[in-house]
Amino acid sequence: MNVQKEQVIIIGSGAAGLTAAIYAARANLNPLVIEGIQPGGQLTITTDVENYPGYADVVQGPWMMEQMRLQAIKVGARIISDIVTKVNFKKDIKKITLDSKKVFESKTIIITTGAQAKWLGLESENQFNGKGVSACATCDGFFYRNKQVAVIGGGNTAVEEALYLSNICSKVTLVHRRDELRSEKILQERLFARDNIEVIWNSVVSEIKGDENGVNALELNSTNSTAQKLIKLDGVFIAIGHVPSTKPFKNAIDMDDEGYIIAKKPGTCFTNIEGVFAAGDCVDKIYRQAVTAAGMGCMAALDAEKWLQH
Ligand code: NDP
């Protein structure tokens, strides 16, 4: 079998992967990026980006990722479209198998496979994605200044997003499927203290309504009666959790219960496997921003470079 030998393989091509590629290429490490199932990562499914430093004007997520990709290629990274299906990290030289059945060996691997927001699975949610439906308040909240929005979920993310949005929006409705929040008590206290946040308990979204201008209402079904409710609003933030895209690495590397890869030394991108580094949303469940992912991608490339030197 023809096995291609590499020095640095980067798995994933979101902000973390492409930044790692830029740094590794500029360190003369000739990195190979395996682009994965969603080239460009989560930013390719957002529209306006206003919080990535360096752009005074709003830029489009897909455009920004295309620029990052071109930048990585310009400085010498190679990018292939394929998906990792199997890894073997047991020996010094790491082995990965792709969907195309190609096999690669590499001294170092940088995992930047990201995470996916969980969605409710409604057709109307898909229809209005980017037109009133979002999974990131920090990214999109600003577009709802002085408007009415809802946040769906009852965990830390939902409560933090509701708090964040209540500073921007005129009213925030938190919709939760049970009668008790899962989030930390301190966050709950802050939530209940806000005048412009209302919590609707025991309810699930049955439909997101809107027109050519985007979302304009939310239809809710009670979970303990047949009652239905319609609330008028301008935007809906789905905050029912994220899933890290780390399936191929299960049993090969240390992960937490939710599948997030664990940094061996906090503040670095080292994992429990020598020569394997991880960065971005597949590690980070707290910040989940393009700029933090890019920062971690840079750290992973620098860690890999140093590790290769020693
Ligand atoms: P969680 O899994 O903690 O919470 C998800 C919430 O969404 C739950 O309340 C759940 O309801 C609800 N939910 C799930 N699926 C559905 C559905 N289909 N319809 C309606 N509601 C649904 O996810 P988070 O993103 O909030 O947090 C993930 C992890 O990250 C946690 O460990 C959290 O502590 C951590 N985190 C920490 C932060 C911090 O420390 N500052 C900030 C953000 C996250 P139910 O409760 O009924 O299951």
Q: Is 302 exposed, middle or buried (0-12, 13-18, 19+ CB in 10 A)?
A: middle
Q: Is 155 in the pocket of ligand 1 (CB under 6 A)?
A: yes
Work out the average pLDDT over 248-268. 95
Work out the average pLDDT over 205-225. 97
Position 45 pLDDT exceeds 80:
no
Q: Whose CA is nearest to atom 28 of ligand 1?
A: 241
Q: Which of 55-59, 136-140, 161-165 has the lowest mean pLDDT?
A: 136-140
Supply the pLDDT for residue 203: 98
Work out the average pLDDT over 75-94. 97
Q: Is 116 in the pocket of ligand 1 (CB under 6 A)?
A: no
State whether residue 101 is helix, strand or coil: coil
Neighbouring C-beta atoms of residue 98, cutoff 10 Å: 17
Contact status, residue 15 vs residue 288, Cβ threshold 8 Å: no
Supply the pLDDT for residue 23: 98
Work out the average pLDDT over 200-222. 97
Q: Is 137 in the pocket of ligand 1 (CB under 6 A)?
A: no
What is the DSSP code string of 147-165? Answer: SEEEEE--SHHHHHHHHHH
Ligand 1 centroid vs 191 CA: distance in angstroms? 15
Tokens of 38: 């969603």
Ligand 1 centroid vs 6 CA: distance in angstroms? 39
State whether residue 18 is helix, strand or coil: helix
Q: Pocket of ligand 1, candidates 222, 262, 285: which has the most ligand atoms within 8 Å of its Cβ, to mutate? A: 285
* pLDDT digits 0-9 by tens, 95-132: 999 999 999 999 999 999 999 889 999 999 999 998 99
Max Cα distance, the chain (Å): 66
Where does the pLDDT of residue 2 fall: very low under 50, low under 70, confident under 90, or very high at 90 and above? confident
Ligand 1 centroid vs 76 CA: distance in angstroms? 40
Contact status, residue 138 vs residue 164, Cβ threshold 8 Å: yes
* pLDDT digits 0-9 by tens, 140-165: 899 999 999 999 999 988 998 999 99
For the chain, the average pLDDT equals 95
Supply the pLDDT for residue 50: 83
Supply the pLDDT for residue 51: 86
